């Protein structure tokens, strides 16, 4: 288990075009990830068993869900329940953090 990790010492992984993830601290139960998202990029509608809560550090994006769309920007937080379908369009260059519970195995 890694109890300490510096953001600038963690290599970003391009998950999708314009979507960059850095996985920071995690254990089996919880995971902290840092994302940089480029304006115009998109995250397709998807779902996962992990709960997801996030906070926008800077930028703006629009989330798509089965219940409708909503825009988040700097200073906003959001949450997706387990298996809740969601996707996003990045409206401005965006930096955010996401926390997953339990940890996403594919992000380790």
Distance CA 47, CA 12 (A): 22
The answer to whether residue 6 sits within a structural domain is no
The answer to whether residue 27 sits within a structural domain is yes
Which pTM does this prediction carry? Answer: 0.95
Domain that holds residue 72: 12-107
Looking at residue 17, what is its pLDDT? 98
Query: Helix, strand or coil for residue 9?
Result: helix
| Domains in the chain, number | 1
Whether the Cβ atoms of residue 94 and residue 58 lie closer than 8 Å to each other: yes
Indicate whether 3 pLDDT > 90: no
What confidence tens digit (pLDDT) does each residue in 8-26 have? 999 999 999 999 999 999 9
Contacts of 3 (CB under 8 A, 6+ apart): 25
The answer to whether residue 1 sits within a structural domain is no
The answer to whether residue 7 sits within a structural domain is no
Looking at residue 2, what is its pLDDT? 62
* pLDDT grade for 4, boundaries at 50, 70 and 90: confident
What confidence tens digit (pLDDT) does each residue in 37-85 have? 999 999 999 999 999 999 999 999 999 999 999 999 999 999 999 999 9
CATH number at residue 33: 2.60.120.10
| Pairing mode of beta strands 31-37, 19-26 | antiparallel
């Amino acid at each position: 288990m890694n109890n300490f990790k510096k953001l600038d010492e963690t290599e970003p992984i391009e998950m999708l075009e314009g979507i960059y993830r850095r996985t920071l601290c995690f254990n089996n139960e919880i995971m902290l990830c840092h994302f940089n998202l480029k304006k115009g990029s998109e995250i397709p509608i998807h779902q996962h068993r992990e709960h997801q809560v996030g906070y926008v550090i800077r930028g703006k994006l629009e989330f798509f869900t089965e219940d409708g769309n909503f825009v988040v920007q700097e200073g906003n937080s959001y949450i997706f329940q387990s298996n809740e379908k969601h996707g996003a369009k990045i409206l401005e260059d965006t930096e955010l953090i996401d926390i997953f519970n339990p940890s996403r195995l594919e992000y380790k």
